[in-house]
Structure 1
Amino acid sequence: MSNTDILPNWENLVKKQLKTEDIYSILKKENLEGIDVRPFYSEVHQPLVNLPKVEESTHLVARYHESLEEDVFAFILDHNVEHLEEKTIFVNNKDLAGHISPKEEDQYFSLIDVFNENECTIDDQLAKELLSKDFKRNICVDISLHQNAGAAIYQQIGIALAKAKELVEAYGPDILNKLIFRTAIGGNYFFEMAKLRAFKIVFNQFSREYGFSDTPYIFAETSSRNKAIADSENNLIRSTLELASAMIAGADAVFSTNYLVNRSTDNSEEISFKQQIVLAYESIINVFEDASNGSYYVEDITRQIAEKSWALFIEIEEGGGYLELMKQGIIQKKIYDQAVEEQKWVEEGKIKLIGVNLYPKLDVKRSIEEMYSEKEIKAVRWAEMFE
């Protein structure tokens, strides 16, 4: 029996149970991204291209600790460490970057963003210093802050393209294969898969404007936005799902930020990293280029996110570019409006967080005005309202 034989019967049954002919308006699932999500999918009209990762296997990245040297192959470094050989190093400190001279067998990546968001400028001296380094990827385009500040998925991607365009205009199109994009992965499991897939598509399209056909290098880390001080075990579950989203969607590197909020222990750092180990070696999801390819649902929302992201990128460019709109406060206002609406959903219980707005332990509540500013892009956790 084909799908076409089954679906009309399914629809008629639902119409009968809901006592209405208009079942799709009832079953439609509301979301803050403005994405049309259908109750079921039987096909996808335009299958999307399956774009590869830059790296053959996803790097599992740990914050450096000497006890991990034997077993871990990729580290984030905030300070200099001697005699690290045949490791993949993500440099997270601009002073450190100035003193590093990679050896032939080393792989060094920069996680340093050259945009000064407060002054709405590019640090030209820092950019040139980083570009002179023998790194595999020299400059980071950081949009993790935007996710943690409450930006919509399509806003994050549109901003990433706009920041890349500013760098191309300043340093030429060859910089495109020297960029690493750092993003935070939120808790909307399938939407976050679609985010990375959509970003690959629009970045590939963007690079074609300059005669390339590049895929972006994506460094994905867990979000702080949906984490809470209380019930740290729930943070651990949320970050595990975020890591899975990133790996399935084909991130080139993943990093789990500490699941404890505002504090850290050796044990919590170890557990945070070992989330990645369990996912990689028990589920083997770090080796696939695009494991969600072919899922009608993910394909459809990927296409919609890509279209909305590209439209925002064009809007930013027509308005004068990322830095110009930052100077005018327009980018900040866009993120603010989205973040406030999202926080209202948390306040109203449309977004549920166990231990925060669902079965809360504390009777505390801050106002949205206390938490957000339309003049500043800053990380805000949903749970801060109740802590």
Structure 2
Amino acid sequence: MPHIDILPDWENLVKKQLKTEDIYAILKKENLEGITVKPFYSSVQKPLVNLPKVEENTHLVASYHESLEEDVFAFLLNENVEGLEEKAVFINNRELAEHISPEDLDQYFSLIDVFDEKEGVINEQLAKELLAKDFKRNIAVDISLHQNAGAAIYQQLGTALAKTKELAEVFGAEIFNKLIFRIAVGGNYFFEMAKIRAFKLVFNQLSKEYGLDDIPYIFAETSLRNKAVTDSENNLIRSTLELASAMIGGADAVFSTNYAVEKNTENSEEISFKQQIVLAYESIINVFEDASNGSYYIEDITQQIADKSWAFFIEIEDAGGYLTLLKQGIIQKKIYDHAVEEQQWVEEGKIKLIGVNLYPKLEVKKSIQDLYTEKDIKPVRWAEMFE
């Protein structure tokens, strides 16, 4: 069938309804990421190839509980548990990692970050200990901290690249396929899909600088940034959408942080995990390699995020590298500036949180200065301003 261009008809209809010739000025939606979003897409300038993931099926990861042993195939552990030979195990504790010596097993993944963000150094002894283990993935590059601290998407991904380069400078290019990237997924549904896809592009680009052609192992967890103590039900909805973004974007493993902020119970932990079960078994979105490929909108913002992330990475490298800028307080200041602007949008209602600044609208109890500091990269929830 011949291609029929519906764009002029669409534009004319919208012009008539909005009573203006300049519809794009009205329909333009502002965002803090500096990403250009069109109100309508009929093509994409640079179509992307299918972006693969490491795991064939996305691991659905649960906090360990003995009642889940028969039904769950991937656990996050903070203490040693025996008899999990057929499970994927994500280790979240240094002491635990020291006592695990698997032989001929590739079930173990380390979620332990070897960067000391406060001191601006790599814990090389810890890294060597982890690399000596026969784990499937040995070293975690954690940028969930940065997302929860208020970093922009391009700052998160640029930071991940810069941390990867610091590790490669110390341990060589062979470190690339030993890394697992811990990423927090926020509430901007399509942007977060594009974030995961964009990271695959820029990580592959960095690997090629070292003569490789690698893709990243991505462990995605739900964000704390947009969750509220007073509104657990809406937290549950938000985290469900975040998990969907992660699976559709092509994460290799997903984990739902407890939606009942500061009120964790065994029941809330079970419900948090079962969000993943519903998405996986009702929607079957955890088995697709690149489910959003071909969506003009997501393709376009994926490329924009990739370009901005790479530019931020180059900016860091040109200024001396991640650790140098961390010691100088420059990384912290860049994240702080974006986080404060984001918090201002929450305070002004530009970013809407139902049950916090909308339906009902709570009173502001803490100032931005009370919540944020230029010196530290620390998690801050938007709703803390109202709690």
Task: Compute the TM-score of the two structures, normalised by the length of structure 2.
Answer: 0.98
- Distance in 2 of aligned mates of 1:58 and 1:135: 18
1:374 match: secondary structure: coil
- Equivalent residues of 1:85, 1:106 under 8 A apart: no
Q: Give the match for residue 235 of structure 1.
A: 235
- State yes or no: 1:256 paired with 2:261: no
- State yes or no: 1:304 paired with 2:300: no
1:184 match: secondary structure: strand
1:281-296 alignment runs, 5 A limit: 281-296=281-296
Q: Give the match for residue 59 of structure 1.
A: 59
- Equivalent residues of 1:86, 1:105 under 8 A apart: no
- Equivalent residues of 1:86, 1:106 under 8 A apart: no
Q: Give the match for residue 195 of structure 1.
A: 195
Task: Compute the TM-score of the two structures, normalised by the length of structure 1.
Answer: 0.98
- Distance in 2 of aligned mates of 1:190 and 1:172: 35
**1:12, CA displacement in angstroms?**
2.0
Q: Give the match for residue 107 of structure 2.
A: 107
Q: Give the match for residue 37 of structure 2.
A: 37
- Distance in 2 of aligned mates of 1:283 and 1:75: 22
Q: Give the match for residue 124 of structure 1.
A: 124
Code of the residue aligned with 1:53 in structure 2: it is K
- The gaps in structure 1 that reach 5 residues or longer are none
**1:13, CA displacement in angstroms?**
2.5
**1:77, CA displacement in angstroms?**
0.6
**1:6, CA displacement in angstroms?**
2.4
The RMSD of aligned alpha carbons is: 1.2
Q: Give the match for residue 383 of structure 1.
A: 383
**1:9, CA displacement in angstroms?**
2.1
1:141 match: secondary structure: strand
1:136-155 alignment runs, 5 A limit: 136-155=136-155
- Equivalent residues of 1:87, 1:106 under 8 A apart: no
The alignment of Structure 1 onto Structure 2 pairs a total of residues equal to 387
- Distance in 2 of aligned mates of 1:106 and 1:44: 40
**1:19, CA displacement in angstroms?**
3.0
Q: Give the match for residue 168 of structure 2.
A: 168
**1:15, CA displacement in angstroms?**
2.2
- Equivalent residues of 2:105, 2:134 under 8 A apart: no
Question: Mean Cα displacement is larger for which, 104-113 or 71-80?
Answer: 104-113
- Distance in 2 of aligned mates of 1:161 and 1:152: 14
- Distance in 2 of aligned mates of 1:252 and 1:372: 32
CA deviation profile, 1:90-123 (whole Å, cap 9, x unmatched): 0000111011011434500000000000100000
- State yes or no: 1:27 paired with 2:27: yes
Report the CA distance shift for 1:235/1:3 in structure 2 as closer, same or farther (over 3 A). farther
**1:83, CA displacement in angstroms?**
1.9
Identity across matched positions, percent: 80
- Distance in 2 of aligned mates of 1:83 and 1:327: 43
Q: Give the match for residue 180 of structure 2.
A: 180
Report the CA distance shift for 1:49/1:120 in structure 2 as closer, same or farther (over 3 A). same
CA deviation profile, 1:166-188 (whole Å, cap 9, x unmatched): 00001000000000000000000
Code of the residue aligned with 1:247 in structure 2: it is M
**1:262, CA displacement in angstroms?**
1.4
- Distance in 2 of aligned mates of 1:10 and 1:200: 34
- Distance in 1 of aligned mates of 2:71 and 2:104: 21
- Distance in 2 of aligned mates of 1:283 and 1:223: 22
- State yes or no: 1:326 paired with 2:306: no
Q: Give the match for residue 14 of structure 1.
A: 14
1:204-283 alignment runs, 5 A limit: 204-283=204-283
1:98 match: secondary structure: helix
- Distance in 1 of aligned mates of 2:210 and 2:192: 28
